[in-house]
């Protein structure tokens, strides 16, 4: 049997922090880092996975060990329930760095298992299967930002994604753009299911229900109702809702600014997004806040924000193209001086197309 190779990219989200799970529209795009999966069919219900980083594992379709590194392959097999398994080798870089490596590898397993079982899946089905994989099987109360970005990503466009109706509107990069993307990895990996991520999601649901009878998510509540009733909310719930409504407005304005090639104001929105994440959403480790402050204050950087929930991972930034490399060097040196113990790295990242 022949071996097939696919590439499932990572994603960045410049604006739209912590609102997709509440029905808020988001901005995202894919980059030329991600998961490479080489696979071939097996004539059995066994799945065998090897990894240069984690070793090797084998299991039967239906098995699930949430503590094992192979859990994303197990969860993919459970939501698809295919008749035949596969043998695969998986590779990826910056795993757990806040660039959605989990959705990347989950979608890779889903697409590969569908392929070896001659199952035709639409893009919409892949998005929702990955959501089921992470939410139902692995317990992460996330939204659709990650799988939608990875499935629909375009090298030369920023995506505006309405997660409620599932629509994706590419905003093409201007031909004369003088901006590039920078990733500043803190050296601290994290896993959202073991962070405070689900607690914040629950607080958002509680705020929605308190503001409006029968509301499940903050996207069901109007800004006017929030403004009229916000002082009746406990401070923590009021802050979570304030973040949602202000971030939704930043996404809408960011969509317009990207179309107008206004990198300066777009970068300012990224900084405002990060500030709201810290103050209103109350996420951000000391290390990541330091990295954001260093990054956003560096010459050549238009703005930056946490990528990966603020519980570790990295900071993503928009930079002026001709100053980006020097900015990366300066950020890396300043952060290393504070945290020489961390395997941090700062680099310009290329944009790329979606799942291939």
Query: For residue range 45-79, what is the model confidence (pLDDT) as tens digits?
Result: 999 999 988 999 999 999 999 999 999 999 999 99
Q: Which distant-in-sequence residues (6+ apart) come within 8 Å of 260 by Cβ?
A: none
Rounded-to-integer distance, Cα 301 and Cα 181, Å: 9
- Helix, coil or strand: residue 24: coil
Question: What pLDDT, in 10s, does the model give residues 262-316?
Answer: 999 999 999 999 999 999 999 988 899 999 999 999 999 999 999 876 666 899 9
195 band by pLDDT with thresholds 50, 70 and 90: low
The whole-angstrom distance between residue 127's C-alpha and the CA centroid of its chain comes to 13
pLDDT at 10: 95
The stretch 239-259 carries a mean pLDDT of 97
pLDDT at 193: 46
pLDDT at 218: 96
The stretch 174-198 carries a mean pLDDT of 79
Q: Which of 146, 173, 322, 353 is catalytic?
A: 146
Rounded-to-integer distance, Cα 218 and Cα 21, Å: 9
pLDDT at 94: 77
The 3-state DSSP composition of the chain as helix, strand, coil percent (nearest 5) reads 45, 25, 30
For the chain, domains (ranges, CATH) are 4-170 (3.30.230.10), 176-349 (3.30.70.890)
11 band by pLDDT with thresholds 50, 70 and 90: very high
Rounded-to-integer distance, Cα 26 and Cα 57, Å: 36
344 band by pLDDT with thresholds 50, 70 and 90: very high
Question: What pLDDT, in 10s, does the model give residues 145-156?
Answer: 999 999 999 999
pLDDT at 97: 79
Tell me which residue of 141, 122, 139, 143 sits closest to 28, measured CA to CA: 143
- Full-model pTM: 0.93
The stretch 202-208 carries a mean pLDDT of 96
Q: Where do we find the tokens 């697409």?
A: 111
Query: Does residue 118 carry a catalytic annotation?
Result: no
Q: Sheet containing 345-349: give its strands across.
A: 301-307, 313-320, 179-188, 345-349
pLDDT at 190: 62
Question: What pLDDT, in 10s, does the model give residues 86-128?
Answer: 999 999 987 777 888 999 999 999 999 999 999 999 999 999 9
Rounded-to-integer distance, Cα 201 and Cα 240, Å: 9
pLDDT at 169: 97
Phi-psi region of 145 (alpha: psi -120 to 50; beta: other; left: phi over 0): alpha
The stretch 330-343 carries a mean pLDDT of 97
174 band by pLDDT with thresholds 50, 70 and 90: confident
pLDDT at 183: 96
| Highest mean pLDDT pick, 183-187, 195-199, 324-328 | 324-328
pLDDT at 309: 67
The whole-angstrom distance between residue 100's C-alpha and the CA centroid of its chain comes to 4
141 band by pLDDT with thresholds 50, 70 and 90: confident
Residue 194 has pLDDT above 60, yes or no: no
192 band by pLDDT with thresholds 50, 70 and 90: very low
Q: Which distant-in-sequence residues (6+ apart) come within 8 Å of 86 by Cβ?
A: 39, 40, 41, 42, 47, 48, 112, 113, 116
Q: Average pLDDT, whole number, for the chain?
A: 93
pLDDT at 285: 86
Rounded-to-integer distance, Cα 158 and Cα 244, Å: 21
Helices (H), 280-323: 286-296
pLDDT at 93: 84
């Amino acid at each position: 049997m022949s071996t097939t190779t696919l590439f499932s990219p990572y994603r960045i989200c410049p604006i739209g922090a912590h609102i997709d799970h509440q029905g808020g529209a988001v901005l995202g795009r894919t980059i030329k880092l991600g998961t490479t999966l080489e696979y071939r069919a097996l004539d059995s219900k066994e799945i065998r996975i090897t990894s240069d980083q984690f070793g090797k594992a084998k299991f039967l379709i239906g098995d699930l060990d949430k503590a094992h590194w192979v859990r994303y392959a197990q969860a993919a097999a459970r939501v698809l329930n295919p008749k035949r398994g596969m043998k695969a080798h998986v590779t990826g870089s910056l795993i757990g760095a806040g660039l959605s490596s989990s959705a990347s590898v989950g979608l890779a397993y889903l697409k590969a298992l569908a392929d070896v079982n001659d199952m035709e899946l639409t893009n919409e089905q892949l998005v929702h299967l990955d959501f089921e994989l992470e939410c139902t099987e692995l317990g992460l109360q996330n939204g659709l930002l990650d799988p939608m970005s990875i499935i629909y990503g375009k090298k030369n466009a920023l995506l505006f994604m309405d997660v409620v109706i599932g629509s994706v509107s590419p905003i093409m990069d201007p031909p004369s753009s003088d901006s590039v993307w920078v990733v500043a990895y803190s050296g601290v990996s994290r896993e959202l299911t073991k962070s405070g991520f689900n607690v914040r999601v629950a607080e958002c649901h509680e705020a929605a229900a308190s503001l409006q009878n029968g509301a499940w998510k903050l996207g069901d509540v109007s800004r006017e109702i929030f403004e009229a009733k916000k002082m009746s909310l406990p401070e923590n719930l009021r802050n979570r809702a304030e973040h949602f409504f202000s971030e939704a407005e930043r996404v809408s304005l960011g969509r317009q600014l990207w179309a107008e090639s206004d990198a300066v104001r777009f970068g300012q929105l990224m900084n405002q997004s990060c500030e709201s994440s810290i103050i209103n959403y109350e996420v951000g480790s000391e290390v990541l806040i330091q990295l954001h402050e260093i990054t956003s204050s560096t010459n050549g950087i238009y703005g930056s924000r946490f990528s990966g929930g603020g519980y570790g991972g990295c900071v993503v930034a928009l930079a002026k193209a001709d100053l980006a490399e020097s900015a990366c060097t300066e950020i890396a040196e300043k952060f290393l001086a504070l945290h020489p113990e961390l395997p941090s790295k700062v680099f310009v990242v290329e944009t790329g197309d979606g799942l291939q």
